[in-house]
């Protein structure tokens, strides 16, 4: 170790310092991290104070037991959080939405939501008859429902996390988010932000000489050995599933609107 910065390790790496120097820099950053946490807490407090909109809880969605009213998705609980999953009609599993897979894969077990009294379901615009084979391949056990033909906020406008509150038979929309708002579903994003190279995406603010960043969403779909090859790839977590085979095409059909 040295007491001064050592840059002999080359570019693309943080400078090397002694432990005391590192600790001082770490402590300074911790002050800002705590402020960031408190600011996020304040934002969450504002979120809890948003008004809400009553929706029709009797609208039917289709699940494993056939058509059910949307209010049944609460399973007797007061709160419901859903992920709204895009669908490509007629596509094989490797042709389904790789972006939505990022969130849905991370929400395979929502036991901690249930422990806090929050029900969970995945809503998809796909026709129900196409859904069970996909769930079987992915190993998903959380409840899924088809919302084909159902208006927003239950159907349409996929790629979202949306929250609802129940008061008896009455159902209310309280919150929805999309885009980077859905990152909260997958802890990998926050974990990558802790690492020296972060998400390895081009938009990041990184020092000169750092590894060149990739385009956004490059990790959504990869080959079996982790390369980027759109035509020979699957949504990344599918490679760990039993029965995963080489891909010759995405096999996508017309996306339903």
Terminal Cα distance for the chain, rounded: 60
Task: Report if residue 192 sits inside a domain.
Answer: no
The 10s digit of each residue's pLDDT in 178-198 is 999 999 999 999 999 999 999
Query: Domain for residue 6, yes or no?
Result: no
Specify the pLDDT at position 9: 53
Of 90, 94, 89, nearest to 250 by C-alpha is 94
pLDDT of residue 10: 57
Rounded alpha-carbon distances, angstroms, from residue 55 to 31, 153, 155, 169, 174: 43, 8, 12, 11, 10
- Please choose, from the candidates 159, 166, 151, the residue with its C-alpha nearest in 3D space to the C-alpha of residue 59: 151
Q: Is residue 36 part of a domain?
A: no
Q: Of residues 80 and 233, which shows the higher confidence score?
A: 80
Residue 9, in any domain of the structure: no
Report d(CA 102, CA 47) in Å as an integer: 24
The pLDDT value recorded for residue 215 is 87
- Asked whether residue 208 is domain-assigned, the answer is no
Domain that holds residue 102: 53-185+220-240
Residue matched to tokens 């196409």: 130
Q: How many domains does one find in the chain?
A: 1
In a domain, 245, yes or no: no
Q: Does residue 149 lie in a domain region?
A: yes
Token duo for residue 129? 């008859």
Residue 159 lies in a domain: yes
**What pTM, to 2 d.p., does this model score?**
0.91
The C-alpha atoms of residue 257 and residue 252 are separated, in whole angstroms, by 15
Task: Flag whether pLDDT at 5 surpasses 70.
Answer: no
CATH number of the domain within which 141 lies: 3.40.30.10
pLDDT, tens digit, 9 for 90 and up, residues 96-151: 999 999 999 999 999 999 999 999 999 999 999 999 999 999 999 999 999 999 99
């Amino acid at each position: 170790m040295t007491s001064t910065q050592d840059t002999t390790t080359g570019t693309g790496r943080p400078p090397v310092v002694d432990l005391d120097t590192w600790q001082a820099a770490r402590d300074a950053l911790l002050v800002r991290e705590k402020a960031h946490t408190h600011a996020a807490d304040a934002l969450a407090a504002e979120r809890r104070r948003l008004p809400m909109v009553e929706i029709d809880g009797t609208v039917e969605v289709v699940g494993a037991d056939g058509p059910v009213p949307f209010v049944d998705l609460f399973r007797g609980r007061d709160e419901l959080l859903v992920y709204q999953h895009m669908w490509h009609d007629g596509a094989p599993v490797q042709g389904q939405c790789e972006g939505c897979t990022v969130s849905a894969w991370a929400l395979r077990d929502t036991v901690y939501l249930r422990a806090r009294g929050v029900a969970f379901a995945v809503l998809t615009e796909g026709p129900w008859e196409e859904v069970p084979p996909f769930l079987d391949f992915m190993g998903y056990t959380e409840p899924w429902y088809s919302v084909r033909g159902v208006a927003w906020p239950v159907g349409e406008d996929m790629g979202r996390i949306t929250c609802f509150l129940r008061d008896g038979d009455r159902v209310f929309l309280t919150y929805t988010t999309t885009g980077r708002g859905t990152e909260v579903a997958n802890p990998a994003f926050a974990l990558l932000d802790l690492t020296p190279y972060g998400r390895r995406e081009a938009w990041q603010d990184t020092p000169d000489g750092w590894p060149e960043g990739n385009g956004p969403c490059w990790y959504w779909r990869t080959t079996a050995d982790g390369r980027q090859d759109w035509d020979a790839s699957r949504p990344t977590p599918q490679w760990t599933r039993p029965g995963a085979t080489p891909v010759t095409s995405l096999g996508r059909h017309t996306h339903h609107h």
